[in-house]
Amino acid sequence: MRTLLRWLVITLGIAALVRWLRHRRETPATPELGTLEDPAEELRRKLAASRVPQQEEATPEPGATVEERRSEIHAQGKAALSEMTSSDEG
């Protein structure tokens, strides 16, 4: 009985090893170097693109006081909040 169990465990182990090696051979470990861009460059480009609109919005109007800017930003916040709550309800 022990011999039969031993052979069964060995057979299952070999089958698992074969499946693992076959799967490893089918999926490439590293992508081809010529097909992909540098991930850091791609992230830098996305970050720069996301910062451009924010910088334009953050520039204050010439001659505006702090209170005027604060009230304008407060109004924008209220509008955004009302927009979010109305989209949640519908």
Neighbours of 41 (CB within 10 A): 9
Identify whether the C-beta of residue 43 lies closer than 8 Å to the C-beta of residue 52: no
What digits encode the pLDDT tens for the residues 24-63?
A: 888 766 656 555 678 899 899 888 888 876 555 666 667 7
pLDDT of residue 28: 67
pLDDT of residue 62: 74
Q: Is the pTM of this model over 0.75?
A: no
